[in-house]
C-alpha cells in the first residue's frame, strides 16, 4: 500500500468524547448497512443496494464535525456520511422503499439519497456528475462569502471521467472551499484500479491542478478524520482545495446484484483483516477510551434505532398512482410540448 507518511493522526486534536462519538457513527453505519443488505435480499425494497461495508472510515471520518451548512456532494457509497451528518435513518429508508414521504416522493433510484435540510444534495446516476455540481456549490459559497465548505465524494473509477478533471482544475484556479475525497477501493464494478490510470497514487493528480493531494490508509478512522479535518479547516480559511485519496476496499459486490467473481478470495480476506471497525475498536480499547462493555452497549443502542426506523419506514405511505407525473418535467419537441412560460 503506497501511502503518504507525512500525514499524522494528530491524536491530540480529537478529544475522548469525539472519539466515542466517532465510534457511535462508525458502528451505526456498519450495522445499518448490513441490515439494508438483508432487507434488500428479503425483497423488502426494489432496485438494488450499494453497500459500503469495509469503507466506512472514508465517509464517517470526513463528515464528523461538519457544520449544518457544510455541503456533502455524495456519490453512491456514502451511507456513513449521511449517518454522521445526522440524516435520520428513516429518511434513508423511505428513499430505499420509494415511499411518498421520501424527498423525491418515491420517484428515484433507491441510492439517490438527498437531504436538503442538512445540505446533502441528491447525486445523479452519472458517475462523477456530483463532483462538478459540488464544485459549483463551492464557487457559490465563495461568491456569497459564506464560511462553508463542500465535501465531494467519489471512487477512483469516477476520477477517470472528464468532469473530475474539469472540476478540480476549476477549483484550483478559483481556490475554492472544497475537499475531494477519493475512495480508492481498487475496483469500479469489475474494472481494476490498475486499468483506470497509470499514476502511482490518485492523489498525484492534484499536482496538475495546483493544490495538495495526499494518499492515506482509508481504513484508519482517526487518520481519515484528522486528515479531512485539517483540509476542511484549510478550505474554510481560504486555503483552497485538497484531494484526499483513501485506500480502502468494499467487502461485497458493486451492488447487491453483483457476486463480484472478478476478484480473488485472498484479496478480500486480506482486506477483511484490516476491518475499519475492528481496527478502531482495538485503538479505543488500547487507549482506554471505551471498554468492550461500552462498545457493546453502543451496538445495542444503534440496533434499536435501526429497528425503530425500519418500522417507521415500512409504515410510510406508498405514492399514489395519480401522483406519478407530479414534479416530472419534459421538454420534448417530439411531443409538441409547450413550455408554460
Ligand atoms: C457515466 C457512467 N458510467 C457507468 C455507470 C455505471 N456505474 C455506476 S457506479 C460504477 C463504478 C464506479 O466506480 P468507482 O467510481 O470506483 O466507485 P465505487 O463503485 O468503486 O465505489 C459504474 C461503472 C454510471 N452510473 N455512469
Ligand atoms: Mg472504486
Give residue 156 CA to ligand 1 midpoint distance, Å.
9
Atom of ligand 1 nearest to the CA of 158: 15
DSSP 142-166: HHTT----EEEEEETTGGGSHHHHH
* Domain annotation covers residue 275: yes
79 within ligand 1 shell (Cβ under 6 A):
no
In three-state secondary structure terms, 47 is coil
Q: What is the mean pLDDT of the chain?
A: 94
Atom of ligand 1 nearest to the CA of 50: 19
User: From the alpha carbon of 161, which atom of ligand 1 is closest?
Assistant: 1
Q: Which residues surround ligand 2, an ion (CB under 5 A)?
A: 155-157, 185, 188
* pLDDT tens digits, 7-24: 777 656 899 999 999 999
Q: What is the rounded distance in angstroms from the CA atom of residue 262 to the CA atom of residue 230?
A: 37
Nearest ligand 1 atom to the CA of 159 is: 15
Cα–Cα distance measured from residue 204 to residue 118, given in angstroms and rounded to the nearest whole number: 32
Bridge partners (DSSP) listed for residue 154:
182
Question: So what's the pLDDT on residue 11?
Answer: 59
pLDDT reported for residue 340: 57
Whether 186 lines ligand 1, by a CB cut-off of 6 Å, is: no
**Cβ of 55 below 6 Å from ligand 1:** no
Given a contact cutoff of 8 angstroms between Cβ atoms, the answer to whether 60 and 19 are in contact is: no
pLDDT of residue 215: 98
- 3-state class (DSSP) for residue 109: coil
8 A C-beta contact, residue 71 and residue 85:
no
Helix (H) / strand (E) containing 215: strand 212-217
Whether residue 124 lies inside any domain: the answer is yes
Question: Is the CB of 195 inside a 6 Å radius of any atom of ligand 1?
Answer: no
CATH code where residue 34 lies: 3.40.50.970
Q: How far is CA 108 from CA 189, 194, 266, 324, in A?
A: 21, 33, 37, 11
Residue 139 has a pLDDT of 98
Lowest mean pLDDT across 64-68, 110-114, 263-267, 297-301: 110-114
Query: Residue 333 falls within a domain, yes or no?
Result: no
Give the H/E segment covering residue 247: strand 242-247
Q: Assess if residue 46 is contained within a domain.
A: yes
CA dist 96 and 108 (Å) reads 9
315 Cα distance to chain centroid: 27
State if residue 187 touches ligand 1 by the CB under 6 angstroms criterion: yes
Look at residue 50 in the predicted model and tell me its pLDDT. Answer: 97
Span 63-71, average pLDDT = 98
36 lines ligand 1 (CB under 6 A): no
Structural domain span for residue 192: 11-315
Tell me whether residue 205 is in a domain.
yes
pLDDT on residue 335: 58
Non-local (6+) Cβ contacts of 128 within 8 A are 75, 154, 158, 159, 161, 163, 164
Residue 257 lies in a domain: yes
Q: What are phi and psi of 333, to 5 degrees?
A: -65, -30
Ligand 1 in reach of 295 Cβ (< 6 A): no
CA of 196 to the centre of ligand 1 (A): 12
- CA 194/CA 132 separation, integer angstroms: 24
Question: Which ligand has the shortest distance to the CA of 129?
Answer: 1
Please measure the distance between the N-terminal and C-terminal CA atoms of the chain and give it in whole angstroms. 57
Q: Is 338 a domain residue?
A: no
Report the interhelical angle of 292-314 vs 89-96 (nearest 10°): 50
Domain count, the chain: 1
Other Cβ atoms less than 10 A from the Cβ of 319: the count is 17
Which residue has cell 501511502?
3
Q: Is the CB of 52 under 6 A from ligand 1?
A: no
Closest ligand 1 atom to Cα of 52? 21
The reply to whether 340 falls in a domain is: no
Listed residue (152, 213, 160) closest to 189, CA to CA: 160
Among 216-220, 261-265, 286-290, 332-336, the least confident range: 332-336
pTM attached to this predicted model: 0.95
Amino acid at each position: 500500500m503506497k501511502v503518504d507518511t507525512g500525514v499524522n493522526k494528530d491524536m491530540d486534536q480529537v478529544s475522548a468524547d469525539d472519539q466515542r462519538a466517532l465510534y457511535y457513527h462508525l458502528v451505526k453505519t456498519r450495522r445499518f448497512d448490513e441490515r439494508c443488505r438483508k432487507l434488500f435480499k428479503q425483497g423488502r425494497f426494489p432496485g438494488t443496494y450499494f453497500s459500503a461495508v469495509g469503507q466506512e472510515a472514508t465517509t464517517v471520518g470526513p463528515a464528523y464535525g461538519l457544520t449544518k451548512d457544510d455541503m456533502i456532494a455524495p456519490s453512491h457509497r456514502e451511507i456513513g456520511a449521511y449517518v454522521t451528518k445526522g440524516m435520520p435513518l428513516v429518511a434513508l429508508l423511505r428513499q430505499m422503499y420509494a415511499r411518498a414521504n421520501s424527498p423525491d416522493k418515491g420517484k428515484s433510484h433507491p441510492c439517490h439519497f438527498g437531504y436538503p435540510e442538512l445540505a446533502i444534495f441528491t447525486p445523479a446516476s452519472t458517475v462523477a456528475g456530483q463532483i462538478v455540481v459540488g464544485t459549483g456549490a463551492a464557487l457559490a459559497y465563495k461568491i456569497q462569502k459564506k464560511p462553508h465548505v463542500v465535501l465531494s465524494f467519489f471512487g477512483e473509477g469516477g476520477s477517470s471521467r472528464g468532469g473530475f478533471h474539469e472540476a478540480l482544475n476549476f477549483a484550483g484556479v478559483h481556490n475554492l472551499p472544497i475537499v475531494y475525497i477519493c475512495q480508492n477501493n481498487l475496483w469500479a464494478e469489475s474494472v481494476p484500479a490498475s486499468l483506470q490510470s497509470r499514476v502511482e497514487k490518485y492523489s498525484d493528480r492534484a499536482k496538475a491542478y495546483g493544490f495538495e493531494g495526499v494518499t492515506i490508509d482509508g481504513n484508519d478512522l482517526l487518520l481519515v478524520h484528522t486528515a479531512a479535518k485539517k483540509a476542511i479547516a484549510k478550505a474554510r480559511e481560504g486555503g483552497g482545495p485538497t484531494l484526499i485519496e483513501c485506500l480502502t476496499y468494499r467487502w461485497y459486490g458493486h451492488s447487491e446484484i453483483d457476486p463480484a467473481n472478478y476478484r480473488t478470495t485472498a484479496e478480500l480476506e486480506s482486506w477483511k483483516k484490516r476491518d475499519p471497525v475492528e481496527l478502531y475498536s482495538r485503538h479505543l480499547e488500547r487507549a482506554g477510551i471505551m471498554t468492550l462493555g461500552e462498545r457493546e452497549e453502543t451496538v445495542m443502542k444503534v440496533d434499536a434505532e435501526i429497528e425503530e426506523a425500519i418500522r417507521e419506514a415500512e409504515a410510510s405511505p406508498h405514492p399514489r398512482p395519480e401522483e406519478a407525473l407530479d414534479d416530472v418535467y419534459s421538454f420534448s419537441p417530439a411531443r409538441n410540448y409547450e413550455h408554460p412560460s
